[in-house]
A and B are shown apart, each in its own frame.
Chain A
């Protein structure tokens, strides 16, 4: 298993280097720079600003500086162009945990709701307990968070006045963003677990278990769930990465001080250092969560082995 993990980590290095090179190229290919504004300062002032941050150097030199700092880890001390008294690290450090926190809540919510609904639907196939949750899941997948968020805020915040409409202070502030961000995932998880369970329940070994007189709850909990939820586990890793990188809308609607909002804004601001810093970070997350998912999949599926050719 250690060998498998090490191999995967080594494979990640060229992926990261290519990703960063692409980030550099795309960032610089897009028109406009960090110091372009509607009220244009005199050219001499802009030139001095560009010199201050080495933008006056040839592209290959800038690329060298960029990659050098990334490899040595110095990039975390890069200053932000937009937020003058901040560095990449000082911006990410307080905000990332909140995005991670929100992503974890959303994932737990999604798994709880999704798996429960999916399993029930699979067991009560073609009854109202199947059609009901599955139709709801269809709606959940379809309603975007831009609509879901304001709707929830309006109902629970403004009309019923039971939950705050925005902010990130107490546990109450975290409910609506969690539901907004997690619902689409929950819906997808429900469909996946329903499908997975249906497939497993038709397998021979389940029939054998039942024939041997194993109680139904044991058949489901011990024998079916493990196999039935494999698609969900495979989906969880990219979904988690998606939750981290895709929380922009939810964070904006509920004024969650997380990194998702900053990531998108840093692109609008052409805040090159911050874009690069967060991209590296998300790349690590993505690679890391995929690795964890692969490990868990192998652990859960006796037919797979580490290092085996697939």
Chain B
């Protein structure tokens, strides 16, 4: 009896395992199709343009959707997208977009001006999009998003007819067109969304395969959670004739070394990243396919100006002057990063900072002595806060050594898990905190407006009315040159007061197959798939 039971159990186990083993399917080769295989970092949290927030999501949505204007692939200059042309009023406050008559959704229905009105209402719906602020330059948009205004018809976007869209801005915003390259401003299909749930429900399932309708060069074909997401050519796209790729497969590659091995074995045409320790080797061995280019982002340290000793500008300056950025990028980060002495990356839409803190190590020692800590004596115990990551640790250790060597002060390291770190930083429970900032759009404003006293991204405790006024003034200045000179003044305040310690400008690191054409490096790391092709 007992033996039979065991035997039965064993045979059942064998049969089950046998079945699962042989039920696995063989992978299909791509056949005649041109399939672009791309490593994409992480499983996309959402491909709903009004809910998504990350870079992997962006890579996919660029294929699926198109805004009113679309970036030119090399320069990222605004070029026609869903709108074939636009007029801008003399006071730069009114934009009239003329939508193309042949613009269609992937289900064949026309893309209309009303679609954009609905989409922007959705993007601005209170409690839906974390990126709603991208549309704040539009008249009354902020009020609607914050729930102070209930009537959307008072917001500055109106459909004059099916193909004419009039947008009224709060103030002249010279970079407004580049904001339209951000997914939070892209159109979404009203009928589809309402079919699968409430228009302002975050958990609406309209983006699932078989349901989603989009207006970009590609449409969603399949999505297997955590495995891959497949888009295929959208025949209803207005410019479908230039699209050469048949499909794009996006893989969630969380392990960078594994991703690099997949690239080496020819399984991937594109890697989301390159592991930092491999950069030098790959640059030497495979320079043709290793792309290291500047990125619109700054790696920096925040100072908590509300806590001793960082509330003393002399201390902050002394610390800043004793960081050897050249050595940091050469010996620690080692991926061609550019040492940063100002906060806005060089040549951000033609803006290059004129600000930097001058001085040498002796000046730094003097400043520290003036602050009451000669030779670092009596310096309180402080920590460098950073989120768990090898690179952040290496940088922190290097800076810890620089401060010890040059100023004689001992700082500790405080390593925290990502969300804990965010919480600590937000509550100003730190002294010095590692940070990074990637521009949302190609304009210095995306870097400088974060240190206004009312910005949730400030997180330094620094509140300065004069700085707020400068940023406010810049946002209503139409003349680009004048606006940049105001922003220069603002950035000078930031650097002179040493609120943040810029360390280096980020670089984008990808392996890109030599078979891939129509791929262009650019500072926003935005790549338009409709121009790409695969050559044998």
Q: How far is the CA of A41 from the CA of B136 in the complex (A)?
A: 12
> A48-B126, A83-B46, A261-B226 known; A165 and B20 CB under 8 Å?
no
What B residues does A302 contact at CB under 8 A?
2
Structural contact, B419 and A33, CB atoms closer than 8 A = yes
The reply to whether the CB of A143 lies closer than 8 angstroms to some CB of chain B is no
Which one of B21, B131, B206 has the highest number of Cβ atoms from chain A below 10 Å of its Cβ? Answer: B21
Question: B261 and A296: CB pair below 8 A?
Answer: no
Are A171 and B24 touching (Cβ within 8 A)?
Answer: yes
Q: Would you call A16 an interface residue if the criterion is a C-beta within 8 Å of the partner chain's C-beta atoms? A: no
Residue B202 contacts which of A33, A84, A105, A157 (CB distance < 8 angstroms)?
A: A84
Chain B interface mostly: loop
Pick from A128-136, A185-193, A213-221, A249-257 the stretch touching chain B.
A249-257
Interface band, chain B: 35 or more
Using Cβ atoms and an 8 Å threshold, which residues of chain A touch B146?
Answer: 42, 44-45
Contact B258 A165, beta carbon cutoff 8 Å: yes
Cα A19 to Cα B21 in complex, Å, equals 34
Taking the nearest CB of chain B, how far is it from the CB of A102, in angstroms? 10
Residue of B130, B254, B262 touching A39 (CB-CB under 8 A): B130
A contact residues around B359 at 8 Å (CB): none
Q: Check: B497 CB closer than 8 A to any chain A CB.
A: no
* Contact B203–A299 (Cβ < 8 Å): no
Q: Which residues of A contact B21 (CB under 8 A)?
A: 105, 171
In the complex, A164 has a CB within 8 A of chain B: yes
For B24, give its contact among A85, A165, A170 (CB under 8 Å): A170
Chain A residues whose CB sits within 8 angstroms of the CB of B459 once the complex forms: 40
| B-contact bits for A43-77, CB 8 A (1 contact / 0 none) | 11101110110000000000000000000000000
- Whether a CB of chain A sits under 8 angstroms from the CB of B5 is yes
Q: Establish whether residues A296 and B130, one from each chain, have CB atoms under 8 Å apart when the complex forms.
A: no
Contact A40 B456 (CB under 8 A): yes
**B263-320 CB contacts (< 8 Å) to partner A:** 264-265, 267
Nearest chain B CB to A115 CB, angstrom units: 13
Query: Given A31-B423, A41-B131 in contact, is the A166-B225 Cβ separation under 8 Å?
Result: no
Contact size class for A? 35 or more
Which one of A37, A82, A165, A296 lies within 8 Å of B267 (CB-CB)? Answer: A165
A44 close to B147 (CB less than 8 A): yes
Residues of A within 8 A of B207 (CB): 84-85
Within 8 A of A (CB), among B218-256: 224-227, 251-255
Alpha-carbon gap, A86 to B258, bound state (A): 27
Does A4 sit within 8 A of B, measured CB to CB? Answer: no
Tell me, in angstroms, the Cα distance from A244 to B507 when the chains sit together: 38
Given contacts A48-B126, A170-B24, contact A85 B267 (CB under 8 A): no
A255 touches B422 (CB 8 A): no
Min CB–CB distance A165 → chain B (angstroms)? 4
CB-contacts of A227-282 with B (<8 A): 252-255, 257-258, 261-262, 265, 268, 270
Identify which of B126, B257, B424, B426 contacts A45 (C-beta below 8 A).
B126
| A174 pairs with B419, CB closer than 8 A | no
Q: Is A161 interfacial (CB 8 A cutoff)?
A: yes
- Chain A residues, CB < 8 A from B264: 158
Q: List 16 A-B contacts (CB under 8 A).
A: A40-B457, A42-B132, A44-B126, A48-B126, A79-B203, A84-B202, A85-B208, A91-B225, A104-B16, A166-B258, A166-B259, A173-B27, A253-B258, A257-B225, A262-B226, A300-B2
> Nearest 6 pairs between A and B by C-beta?
A48-B127, A32-B419, A40-B456, A257-B227, A169-B27, A31-B423
